[in-house]
């Protein structure tokens, strides 16, 4: 959460930082700000409440010019989105510009002490204490780097912090504390850039040749970035050597590909996302699954006693589907739990437990903390994540990457499909290794998976038809999503999608639970979305649909092509192609994504950047 960009070089810093912030806006968009050091060495601050576009030079009038600066796009934690609370923050003498992503857990204590010694605060943020701490270090006679490092040693909690100083040479100092909030540092042809994520590097890449080498800061590491290069230190000030990595243009490209929104592009990308997740893993010719990256040898798989799947939000829903896959195909007791609950329990896991963390970003604070807990307890740790340079990838014993490409829309779509695909592969792999699935059964399942991308494409061919339905039902103020078995998790995901991008109240419920309470809500003003594809539970869900209709509720149902009997019971039938049962969770997801998208669009909501949310939730 929050995006940071810092630049030092020969070019005008403002447009590079502005472009970088636009590319990081998915991390938060409550307010934004840029500070630039001009040619005389003076610092200039500009801030806006709301999106980064408020910093567009054409809106602001003349933007300050200089070749050193930093910027921030904020997801508010301490203090409302306001001009005063927007970053960069400064000190009493406006010498320091500092931006921050994370939470300073001891900020009240720091603020009290600094206030008592005469520092005057301008904002309600936890961050401002950090700029005053740097100022305090400077007034003790420390160099900027020393003062920055001293500040870092005084801060509790997980944070990414970047600062610069008045005077034309900078440098930019960047620090990562704990495991929240990534920092990537690049140096390329006399230009240094610091950012929360790779897409912010594009404005520098575009003006240079070749690809830069980048360093990813670990917790407890600091980078000092100047025109001459980058130096790395630990928190004790000892120089450290980091292995630079090359990044390609593809790693940094963010492009809507002609679609109106990233979310729609990412929905339409799902056949390719599923294909990429299957590549080199599903051996269609030989009917086998190979999982390079799986952390246990086949001989150890038989000894596994439990699989625990953890994640948050959409990734939790993927975990819930994965639980069904693993119990069904691998025959291993499996459970799915919110990482934010798991981390605060004392879960009974040990060396014979496989913990699978799921996450698009690999940076979700609760998921990362839950992984640390699993590590302490000696479990084998596998992560399914999209971001290959993420915390999750570094902590886990093994990683199965989604390979979905960058997902920019705050509402996760294609990475959900990637997660389900990999969980399906994992279940087949474990089932075969444990002898529960013989070669023939494995071949059949792999053949079934091969149909997935084509079946999604068929569904997407009808994508525009959801607009009409959105106009018919988008005015309902309440939605109940129902499903049984794996479809209960898809119902929860459908409700999450709708509420996060359209702000309509929506609940996802196991259909069998409806009669234990939610049925009291059914009336003509409640729209129920029921998932009743052709599976063993279809008849049960159909009974629930009839119960809703008997109480004059409106029903949209996701059914299998040709199910005229069920279609005749509901107001708005939606169809998925006939498909193997274990592919159905993937297919029933797509109509729900498209429906949410079109409802949000119809209501005039900001589909890609819904209010109050951020793409990666790096605070607890």
Q: Binding to ligand AGP by residue 31, rule CB under 6 A?
A: no
- Write the burial class of residue 558 (CB in 10 Å: 0-12 exposed, 13-18 middle, 19+ buried): buried
- Give the residue with the Cβ less far from ligand AGP, 143 or 612: 612
Q: Applying CB under 6 A, which part among 115-123, 227-235, 355-363, 449-457 lies near ligand AGP?
A: 355-363
Which residues lie below 8 Å from residue 275, measured CB to CB, with a gap of 6+? 453
Minimum separation from the CB atom of position 486 to ligand AGP (A) = 18
Q: How far apart are CA 371 and CA 60, in angstroms?
A: 44
Q: Are 165 and 144 in contact (CB under 8 A)?
A: yes
Task: Work out how close the CB of 359 gets to ligand AGP at its nearest, in angstroms, rounded to a whole number.
Answer: 3
**Chain centroid, CA 14 distance in Å:** 27
Q: 131, 367, 418, 541: which one contacts ligand AGP (CB under 6 A)?
A: 367
Examine the residue annotation and report whether 515 is marked as an active-site residue of this protein: no
Of the residues 2, 173, 312, 385, only one is catalytic, namely 2
DSSP three-state, residue 241: coil
Q: How far apart are CA 377 and CA 325, in angstroms?
A: 25
The window from 88-96, 217-225, 249-257, 612-620 that contacts ligand AGP (CB under 6 A) reads 612-620
Shortest Cβ 39–ligand AGP spacing (Å)? 41
Binding mask of the shown chain, residues 533 to 572, with x at each position contacting ligand AGP by CB under 6 A: ----------------------------------------
Q: How far apart are CA 509 and CA 491, in angstroms?
A: 7
Does the protein bind ligand AGP through residue 390 (CB under 6 A)?
A: no
Q: How far is the CB of 500 from ligand AGP (least distance, A)?
A: 6
Nearer Cβ to ligand AGP (166/364) = 364
Binding mask 461-500 for ligand AGP (x = CB under 6 A): ---------------------------------------x
Give Cα 159 to chain centroid, integer Å.
17
421 is a contact residue toward ligand AGP (CB under 6 A): no
Q: Which range, of 58-66, 201-209, 409-417, 429-437, touches ligand AGP by CB under 6 A? A: 409-417
Residue 600, token pair as written in the block = 């949000």
Are the C-beta atoms of residues 555 and 547 closer than 8 Å to each other? no
410 is an interface residue for ligand AGP by CB under 6 A: yes
Q: Which is nearer to ligand AGP, 149 or 498 (CB)?
A: 498
Between the CA of residue 515 and those of 494, 525, 557, 569, what are the distances in Å?
20, 18, 18, 19
Helix ranges, 382-485 (H):
391-395, 414-433, 439-450, 452-460, 465-473
Please identify, using beta-carbon distances, which residue of 204 and 370 lies nearer to ligand AGP. Answer: 370
Residue 545 near residue 570, CB atoms below 8 Å:
yes
Q: Of residues 201, 264, 617, 619, which one binds ligand AGP by CB under 6 A? A: 617
Structure tokens at 591: 């109509």
Among 90, 315, 383, 589, binds ligand AGP (CB under 6 A): 315
What does the per-residue mask of binding to ligand AGP show for 498-527, with x meaning CB under 6 A?
A: --x---------------------------
- Of 258-266, 298-306, 408-416, 484-492: span binding ligand AGP (CB under 6 A): 408-416
Contact track, ligand AGP, 126-165, x by CB under 6 A: ----------------------------------------
| Coil, strand or helix at 531 | strand
615 is catalytic: yes
Please give the Cα distance from 573 to 563 (Å, whole number): 9
The reply on whether position 314 binds ligand AGP by CB under 6 A is yes
Candidates 23-31, 287-295, 308-316, 393-401: pick the segment binding ligand AGP (CB under 6 A). Answer: 308-316
Q: Give every CB contact of residue 372 below 8 A, 6+ residues apart in sequence.
A: 179, 395
Is residue 412 a contact point for ligand AGP (CB under 6 A)? yes
User: Closest approach of Cβ 418 to ligand AGP, in Å?
Assistant: 11
Least gap, CB of 75 to ligand AGP (angstroms): 12
- What is the sign, positive or negative, of the torsion defined by CA atoms of 403, 404, 405, 407? negative
Which range, of 299-307, 434-442, 530-538, 610-618, touches ligand AGP by CB under 6 A? 610-618
Inter-CA distances, 128 with 89, 171, 388, 485, 573, Å? 6, 20, 32, 49, 54
The 3-class secondary structure across 365-411, one letter per residue, is HHHHHHHHHHHHCCCEEEEEECCCCCHHHHHCCEEEECCCCCCCCCC
Q: Of these, 48, 360, 487, 560, which contacts ligand AGP (CB under 6 A)?
A: 360
Q: Nearest approach, Cβ of 309 to ligand AGP (angstroms)? A: 13
Q: Which residue is nearest to ligand AGP (CB)?
A: 313
Rule CB under 6 A: is residue 359 a binding residue for ligand AGP? Answer: yes
Residue 594: half-sphere exposure toward Cβ, Cα within 13 Å: 24
Q: Give the bridge partners for 33, in sequence order.
A: 47, 72
User: Based on the number of CB atoms within 10 Å of its own CB, is 112 exposed (0-12), middle (13-18) or buried (19 or more)?
Assistant: exposed
Taking CB under 6 A as the rule, does residue 312 contact ligand AGP?
yes
Burial class (CB in 10 A: 0-12, 13-18, 19+), 348: exposed
Extract the tokens encoding 66: 């200089």
Nearest distance from residue 292's CB to ligand AGP, in Å? 22
Burial of residue 376, with CB atoms counted within 10 A of its CB: 0-12 exposed, 13-18 middle, 19 or more buried: exposed
Binding part of the chain for ligand AGP, among 174-182, 226-234, 358-366, 599-607 by CB under 6 A, reads 358-366
Query: Pick from 127, 421, 616, 618: which binds ligand AGP (CB under 6 A)?
Result: 616
192, 227 Cβ separation under 8 angstroms: yes
Q: Which is nearer to ligand AGP, 314 or 584 (CB)?
A: 314
Interface segment toward ligand AGP; rule CB under 6 A; list 226-234, 361-369, 452-460, 584-592: 361-369
Catalytic residue among 22, 51, 265, 615: 615
589 binds ligand AGP (CB under 6 A): no
Residues with a catalytic annotation lie at: 2, 615
Residues of this chain that bind ligand AGP (CB under 6 A): 312-315, 359-361, 364, 367, 410-412, 500, 613, 616-617
């Amino acid at each position: 959460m929050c995006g940071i960009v810092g630049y030092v070089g020969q070019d005008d810093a403002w447009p590079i930082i502005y472009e970088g912030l636009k590319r990081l806006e998915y991390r938060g968009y409550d307010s934004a700000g840029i500070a630039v050091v001009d040619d005389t060495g003076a610092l200039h601050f500009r801030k806006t409440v709301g999106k980064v576009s408020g910093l567009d030079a054409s809106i602001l009038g003349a933007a300050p010019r200089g070749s050193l600066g930093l910027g921030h796009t904020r997801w508010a934690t301490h203090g409302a989105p306001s001009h005063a609370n927007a970053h960069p923050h400064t000190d009493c003498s406006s010498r320091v510009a500092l931006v921050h992503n994370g939470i300073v857990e001891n900020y009240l204590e720091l603020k009290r002490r600094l206030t008592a010694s005469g520092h005057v605060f301008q904002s309600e943020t936890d961050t401002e204490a950090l700029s005053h701490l740097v100022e305090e270090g400077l007034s003790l006679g420390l160099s900027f780097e020393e003062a920055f490092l001293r500040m870092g040693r005084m801060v509790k909690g997980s944070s990414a912090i970047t600062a610069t100083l008045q005077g034309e040479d900078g440098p930019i100092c960047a620090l990562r504390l704990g495991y929240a909030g990534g920092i990537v540092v690049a140096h390329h042809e006399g230009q240094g850039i610091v950012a929360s994520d790779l897409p912010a590097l594009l404005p520098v890449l575009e003006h240079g040749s070749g690809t830069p080498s980048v360093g990813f800061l670990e917790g407890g590491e600091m980078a000092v970035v100047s025109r001459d290069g980058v130096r790395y230190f630990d928190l004790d000030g000892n120089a450290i050597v980091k292995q630079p990595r090359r990044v390609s243009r593809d790693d940094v490209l963010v492009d809507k590909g002609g679609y109106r929104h990233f979310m729609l592009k990412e929905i339409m990308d799902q056949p390719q996302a599923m294909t990429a997740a299957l590549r080199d893993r599903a051996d269609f010719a030989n009917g086998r699954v190979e999982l390079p990256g799986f952390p246990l040898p086949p001989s150890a798989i038989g000894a596994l006693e439990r699989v625990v799947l953890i994640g948050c939000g959409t990734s939790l829903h993927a975990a819930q589907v994965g639980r069904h896959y693993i119990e069904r195909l691998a025959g291993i007791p499996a459970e799915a739990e919110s990482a934010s609950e798991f981390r605060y329990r004392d879960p009974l896991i040990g060396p014979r437990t496989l913990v699978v963390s799921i996450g698009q970003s690999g940076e979700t604070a609760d998921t990362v903390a839950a992984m640390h807990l699993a590590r302490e307890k000696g479990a084998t740790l596998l992560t399914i994540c999209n971001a290959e340079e993420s915390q999750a990838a570094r902590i886990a014993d093994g990683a199965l990457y989604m390979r979905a490409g960058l997902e920019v829309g705050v509402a996760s779509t294609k990475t959900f499909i990637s997660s389900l695909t990999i969980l399906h592969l994992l279940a087949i792999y474990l089932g075969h290794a444990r002898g529960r699935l013989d070669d023939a059964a494995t071949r059949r399942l792999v053949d079934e998976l091969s149909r997935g991308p084509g079946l999604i494409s068929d569904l997407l061919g009808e994508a525009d038809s959801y607009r009409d339905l959105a106009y018919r039902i988008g005015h309902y103020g309440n939605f109940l999503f129902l499903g049984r078995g794996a479809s209960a998790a898809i119902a929860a995901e459908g409700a999450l999608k709708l509420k996060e991008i359209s702000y309509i109240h929506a609940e996802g419920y196991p259909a069998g639970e409806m009669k234990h309470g939610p049925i009291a809500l059914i009336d003509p003003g409640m729209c129920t979305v029921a998932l009743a594809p052709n599976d063993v539970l279809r008849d049960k869900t159909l009974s629930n649909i009839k119960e809703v209709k008997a109480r004059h509720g409106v029903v949209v149902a996701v059914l299998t092509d040709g199910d005229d009997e069920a279609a005749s019971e509901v107001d708005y039938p939606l169809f998925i192609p006939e498909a193997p049962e274990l592919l159905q969770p993937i297919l029933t997801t797509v109509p729900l994504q498209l429906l949410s998208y079109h409802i949000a669009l119809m209501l005039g909501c900001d589909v890609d950047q819904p209010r109050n949310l951020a793409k990666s939730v790096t605070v607890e």
